Amino acid sequence: MSDLLQVELVAADRLVWSGEATMVIARTTEGDVGILPGHAPVLSLLVDGVVDVRTPENETWVAAVDAGFLSVAGDRVSILSEHAEMSHEIDLERARHDLERAKAAGENDDEAAEAVRRAEARIRAVEKAS
């Protein structure tokens, strides 16, 4: 058993972040899950939200992710999402504008509700990283 995790955060179009970590926190359909070295194997569904990656240098990298998958096996963590953005890549004002626009589109519309969740996740990622 290693004292580090090998982490890959992958979006459909690119590798968003890759490296070693001491801990990963992600939101799944079952709730928030924290992954430490030696964690039991798991495959879970991600929901729109924030992923925290804590590095051996005591840095915390924060990303906003859409629904996807979280896989843990042998101290390797794979986070697969249709869209993922690191907090420093997100334009906070644009995310707030996107949230207001999505809310105005109507809460009964599934597509608008999904856009609201995505915009909220992007805003949380930036605020959490600040």
Reply yes or no on whether the pLDDT at 32 is more than 80: yes
Reply yes or no on whether the pLDDT at 13 is more than 60: yes
The domains found in the chain, sorted by start residue, are 5-86 (2.60.15.10), 90-129 (no CATH)
The residue-averaged pLDDT of 18-34 equals 96
Reply yes or no on whether the pLDDT at 58 is more than 80: yes
Residue 78 and residue 85: Cα distance in Å, rounded? 15
Please provide residue 57's backbone torsions phi and psi, each rounded to the nearest 5 degrees.
-85, 10
Q: Grade residue 104 by pLDDT with cuts at 50, 70 and 90.
A: confident
3-state percent helix, strand, coil for the chain, nearest multiple of 5: 30, 45, 30
Q: What is the pLDDT of residue 109?
A: 75
Q: What is the pLDDT of residue 1?
A: 56
Q: Is the CA virtual torsion 130, 15, 48, 31 positive or negative? A: negative
Q: Grade residue 2 by pLDDT with cuts at 50, 70 and 90.
A: confident
Reply yes or no on whether the pLDDT at 86 is more than 60: yes
The residue-averaged pLDDT of 29-35 equals 95
CB neighbour list of residue 117: distance below 8 Å, 6 or more residues apart: 47, 48
Structure tokens at 25: 């926190």
